[in-house]
Amino acid sequence: LFTGPVDFLKGVVAMSGLPPADRIEVCFAGRSNVGKSTLINALTGRKSLARASNTPGRTQEINYFTLGDSHYLVDLPGYGYANAPVKVVEKWQRLLKQYLSGRPTLRRAFVLIDARHGIKKVDEDILTLLDSSAVTFQCVLTKADKVKAKDRDRVLAQVRGALAKHPAAFPEIVLTSSEKGTGIATLRAIIAGLE
Ligand code: GTP
Ligand code: MG
């Protein structure tokens, strides 16, 4: 699906640090600890490309990865981390707004939602920001291996209901487990199909 190297390119803390907008770009947003970095590792087949950890709030920068010669994968810092200082949160929100509204090659934002918990208020805020930035977003449920079918179906219904209220939402929800490999090929194909 992708030809060329998979690599960490750079960590960015300001718009001036973004690489040239010369590739198809997708970003991964979601609450701290939802599994963004782990999902990027699974998608690229590189176990420790994006750092993953048990410590929420670990990824502080906008991290750029190359997926072949044609795509960037962008790992966004997690939101909703209760212990984050207000100043840090405000700086991050400013950068996120600038990034979402100022990146012409950003084709889709994947918003990761824990398959056990569904969409929370902090997620709703991001979805609203994506609507106003006119960035198409798609929800990805993570950690499917940790949820029983019945609870998963309840969460799927909740997410579906929430998406109906967001004009920028892409309707298909992708169920994933980075642990078991569920949904990873599907997500790779979705990314490869973006133009
Ligand atoms: P921040 O960078 O802090 O925003 O977190 P993140 O969203 O990048 O989460 P990260 O990938 O670091 O994963 C957090 C924890 O969840 C780690 O302990 C992962 O091993 C675990 N995890 C991620 N995905 C899965 C999954 O599909 N299944 C299971 N069981 N655990 C997962
Ligand atoms: Mg991370």
**Does residue 47's CB lie within 6 angstroms of at least one atom of ligand 1?**
no
CA distance 179 to 176: 9
Closest ligand to C-alpha of residue 142 is 1
Q: How many domains does the chain have?
A: 1
Q: Domain of residue 27: give its range.
A: 6-193
- Please give the single-letter amino acid code of residue 133: S
- Please give the single-letter amino acid code of residue 162: A
pLDDT tens sequence across 104-125: 999 999 999 999 999 999 999 9
Cα–ligand 2 centroid distance for 60 (angstroms):
8
Q: Is residue 138 part of a domain?
A: yes
Q: Is residue 172 part of a domain?
A: yes
Nearest CA to ligand 1 atom 16: 35
Q: Is residue 95 part of a domain?
A: yes
Q: Is residue 167 part of a domain?
A: yes
Contacts 24+ apart (CB under 8 A), 35-41: 35/112, 35/114, 35/142, 35/143, 35/178, 36/75, 36/76, 36/78, 36/112, 37/75, 38/142, 38/178, 39/112, 39/140, 39/142, 39/176, 39/178, 39/187, 40/65, 40/73, 40/75, 41/178
- The predicted complex's ipTM stands at 0.99
Q: Is residue 1 part of a domain?
A: no
**Does residue 19's CB lie within 6 angstroms of at least one atom of ligand 1?**
no
pLDDT at residue 56, as a whole number: 59
Q: Is residue 50 part of a domain?
A: yes
Nearest CA to ligand 1 atom 32: 143
Q: Is residue 10 part of a domain?
A: yes
Tokens of 68: 């072949």
Find the CATH number of the domain harbouring 161.
3.40.50.300
Q: Is residue 133 part of a domain?
A: yes
Segment 79-107 mean pLDDT: 88
pTM of the complete model: 0.96
pLDDT tens sequence across 166-184: 999 999 999 999 999 999 9
